Amino acid sequence: MPLFVNFRSVVHALSDSLDLVGIDDVHHGKRVGIMAVEILRELGWSRQDQEMVFDACLLHDIGVSTSDLHRQLVEEFDWVGSQTHAKLGAFLLSKFPPLAHLAPAIRLHHTHWAELKDRCGKTERIANLIFLADRVDVLAGTAILNDELLEGVPAIRAKVLEQSGRMFDPELVAAFVSVSRKEAFWLGLETGPVAEYMARISRSARQEETGIETLLGVAALFSHVVDAKSHFTVDHSQGVARVAAYLCGILGDSCRLDHDDCAKLELAGYLHDLGKLRIPDAVLDKPGPLTGRERRQITSHAYETYRILSRIPGFEDIALWASYHHEMPDGEGYPFRLTRDEIPFQARILRAADIFQALAQDRPYRDALPAPAVLDHLRLLCEEGQLDLSIYDAIAANLPEVYRLAQPCADQFQMNSRRAASDPIVAS
C-alpha cells in the first residue's frame, strides 16, 4: 500500500524529534543545515548536493537519545568520547537503504581535518562541513537563545580560524569566514527565520507515492532513537507497533478495519512516543513520585508527538492515532482530554497495545508482569469502562502470542548497533 507523502518531508518532520533532545533548544540540527548550505552556496556546490547535505545535517545526531549526552555535546567544544554517537548514528542510517548514503559522512562528523586530509574526498569534506557548522552552532547556541548573537560573532569567527587546518578544512573555513561577515547569515539562525526556512522547504515539497515498507523503515529507525532513551524502554515502540498491528488484523473484519488501517496503526505504534525525546532522562527514569513540573514534562510528550506528525501531509490519521495514546474514554486522559466518542477505535487499539507492552516490560518502579497478571490488569480497565470489550477479548483469546509480540526482543539490530558503537570498522 503506497501512501501519498513526500519522503523528504517525513524525514524532515521526524528529525524534529532529534532536536527535542535539546529540551529548551529545539532547532540545533536545522541551524547546522542552514549554515552548511550557505557555505556550500559560497563554494558553488550544486543544489542537489546542498539538499543532500542539509538532510545529513538534520540527522547528524541521530545517535543521541539522552539529554545527558546532549548536554555534553553542547557544553564541550571537542572531547574524547565524541565518536561514540557518530558511530552509532552512522550504523543506524546504514541499515536503512533510503538514507544509507548519509552514513559515511555522519560517521566522520567529529573527526579532525588533520586526520581526514590525506584521504580527502567528497564524504570527508561533507563530514567536516557538518563538524564545522555543528561546532559554530555550539559556540553560538546560548547567544542565540539570549538574543545576543551578533555581539559574539567576532569570537566565534576567531575560534574557527584558529582551527583551520587542524579541526577544520581550510577551504571550508575560508568560505565560512566569507559568508559569516554578513549579519544576515547570523540573523537567519534565529527561531523565527529557521521556522520560515523549514516552512518554505515543506511548501515546495511535492506529494508522491511512497511505499509502506519505506515508511515503516524510517518509522522503525526513529523508534530506535526514542526507545534508546532509557534502558527501561528498549524496544517499547517496536513492541507497541507489533501488538497494535496484530490486534488490528484480528479485529479487522468484525470492526471494519482494513489492511491500510493496520499498516497505518503499525506506523503510529512506532512513532507514538517521539515526544518523549524532550523529557529529561532523570525524569523518565525516576523511580519515585513525580513533582508537578516533572508530571507536566511527562504529559507533554503526546502533544509533542502530535506537533511533529501533524506536519506531514498524508499522515493525518497517523498523527491523531499516535498522539491519542494517553486519552481515556472518561475524558481524564491527556493531552486533549477527549471523550469516548471522540477517540477513534484505532487509537483505542494503540492505547491497549501501549498499556500491554508497558506492563510486560520492567519499569523503574516495578518488574515486568507475567502474561496472566497483564490480562488481570486489562480486565479491570475493561470493567471500569476504560478499555473496549472487543479489544480485551481479542487479547484474551490470543494472550501467548500478544505477550510474545510485546516482549522486548534483543533483536539483531539492537545487538549490532551496540557492536557498531564499539567497532570502528563497521561504520566507517
Give catalytic residue positions. 276
Judged by beta carbon, residue 61 or residue 261, the one nearer Fe ion is 61
The answer to whether residue 227 forms part of the interface with Fe ion (CB under 5 A) is no
As a dihedral over the C-alpha atoms of residue 38, residue 44, residue 50, residue 54, rounded to 10 degrees, the angle is -30
Q: Which stretch binds Fe ion (CB under 5 A): 144-152, 278-286, 346-354, 388-396?
A: 346-354
Q: How far is the CB of 404 from Fe ion (least distance, A)?
A: 19
User: 4 forms bridges with which residues in the sheet?
Assistant: 209
Minimum CB–partner distance for residue 231 and Fe ion (Å): 15
From the CB of 206, what's the least distance to Fe ion, in Å? 31
Which positions from 51 to 80 touch Fe ion by CB under 5 A, shown as an x/- string?
----------x-------------------
Scanning 136-144, 172-180, 198-206, 351-359 for contacts with Fe ion by CB under 5 A, the matching segment is: 351-359
Rank residues 169 and 354 by Cβ distance to Fe ion and give the closer one: 354
Cα-based distances in Å from 234 to 116, 228, 239, 352, 410: 35, 6, 9, 19, 9
Shortest distance, CB of residue 154 to Fe ion, whole angstroms? 25
**Residue with Cβ nearer Fe ion (315 or 356):** 356
Nearer to Fe ion, 74 or 179 (CB): 74
Q: How many CB atoms lie within 10 A of CB 393?
A: 14
Q: Is-contact 238 270, C-beta < 8 A?
A: yes
Using alpha carbons, select from 96, 110, 99 the residue that is nearest to residue 59: 99
CB of 189 within 8 A of CB of 144? Answer: yes
Nearer to Fe ion, 156 or 241 (CB): 241
DSSP codes of every residue in 16-75: HHHHHTTTT---HHHHHHHHHHHHHHHHT--HHHHHHHHHHHHHTTTT---HHHHHHHHH
**CB under 8 Å to 39, separation ≥6 — which residues?**
129, 132, 133, 172, 175, 176, 179
Q: Residue 354, interface with Fe ion (CB under 5 A)?
A: yes
Minimum distance, C-beta of residue 284 to Fe ion, in the bound complex (Å): 11
Please give the size of the binding site for Fe ion, defined by CB under 5 A: 3
Phi, psi of 325 (to 5 degrees): -75, -5
Measured CA to CA, the distance from residue 257 to residue 251 in angstroms comes to 7
Per-residue exposure over 41-58, b if at least 16 CB sit within 10 Å of its own CB, e if not? ebeebeeeebebbbbbbb
Shortest Å, Cβ 370 to Fe ion: 20
Nearer CB in complex with Fe ion: 38/61? 61
Binding to Fe ion by CB under 5 A, coded x per residue (else -) over 244-283, reads: -----------------------------x----------
Give the shortest CB-56-to-Fe ion separation in angstroms. Answer: 11
Contact region for Fe ion (CB under 5 A) — 93-101, 185-193, 197-205, 347-355? 347-355
Q: Of 182 and 295, which CB lies nearer to Fe ion in the complex structure? A: 295
Q: Is 288 helix (H, G, I), strand (E, B) or coil?
A: coil
Half-sphere exposure of 56 (CA within 13 A, CB side): 33
Q: Are 312 and 274 in contact (CB under 8 A)?
A: no
Stretch 152-191: interaction string toward Fe ion, x if CB under 5 A: ----------------------------------------
317 lines the binding site for Fe ion (CB under 5 A): no
- Which residues of the chain form contacts with Fe ion (CB under 5 A)? 61, 273, 354
